[in-house]
Amino acid sequence: MVGDSGAEALLALHQGPGFVIPNVWDAGSARLLAQLGFPAIATTSAGIAWSKGLPDGGPLSADLMFEAVAEIVAAVGVPVSADLEAGYGDTAEAVGKTVARAAALGIVGGNIEDAVGGTLIPIDDAAGRLEAARAAAPAGTFVLNARTDAYFSSFDGDPFGETIARAERFVAAGADCVFVPGVKDAETIRRLAAEIPVPLNMVAGLTVPVIAAPALFELGVTRVSVGGSIARAAYDAVERAGRELLESGTLGFLDGAVSYADMQRRLGG
């Protein structure tokens, strides 16, 4: 689903009691999850990097990322929100061009981070990047998900206060929702949801203990994503299958696996 209708559908999900948006890394994973009935999907920069044989966090070029995301958009009929990392540029102008490029591909939403290399970008600069993103894709045409990494970076101050300050600035800059990864305790999540003036996105499966989606909804979270968790599970299955073949030559990894015919059916129509 592309264009304004896709953005409207994605925005509408943020007005409900809460929704899970799974993160995919290629057209095949996107189609399988869309077929399950998820009303929208997101991409994972980690999963896309791993699919290219690269680590997360920098080596993946914007061109490779957009190539993968374009294939995902073309493969499904639901809204797609992209992990745009820190905007693939050092300036607000460059971030604006990244968002414009995303929108032109039919992507109807995206995350923009406020940290590079584990270090927070100064708040004024981070807000300016979001203003450029909003100018490139006006409200109602693109769901701008502002990610703030005070809990997920080398920041040494009060992460709660910094997160709220950044969230307020980012909302003023045009963000539709705010994404706060790395929070580990339920009470902090509850306080963040109460004080952030737009829907809150949390990622499940990134921290220990794991807080499942229903519990996050009860805490006031609206949008729950899973980052690279599904990709990690898939690549772990590949490694375990390879280890079994190498060490014993057996095929126990096929127990319970989807059949060839079923995969053909799922991806053939």
Predicted pLDDT at 58: 73
pLDDT of residue 38: 98
Instruction: Give pTM, 2 decimals.
Output: 0.95
* Phi, psi angle pair for 112, to nearest 5°: -125, 125
Per DSSP, the chain holds a count of helices (H) and strands (E) of 11, 11
pLDDT at 166: 98
pLDDT of residue 53: 95
* Alpha-carbon distances, residue 1 vs 75, 81, 144, 213 (angstroms): 10, 11, 17, 25
Q: Which residue stretches of the chain are H helix? A: 3-13, 27-36, 45-51, 62-75, 92-104, 123-136, 159-172, 186-195, 213-218, 229-247, 260-268
Q: Which two tokens stand for residue 261?
A: 């015919």
Please tell me whether residue 164 adopts helix, strand or coil conformation.
helix
C-alpha R_g of the chain? 19
Residues of the chain with pLDDT under 70: 1-2, 269
Q: Is 8 exposed, middle or buried (0-12, 13-18, 19+ CB in 10 A)?
A: middle
- Predicted confidence at residue 197, as pLDDT, reads 97
pLDDT of residue 2: 67
Q: Tell me the sheet residues that pair with 145.
A: 111, 177
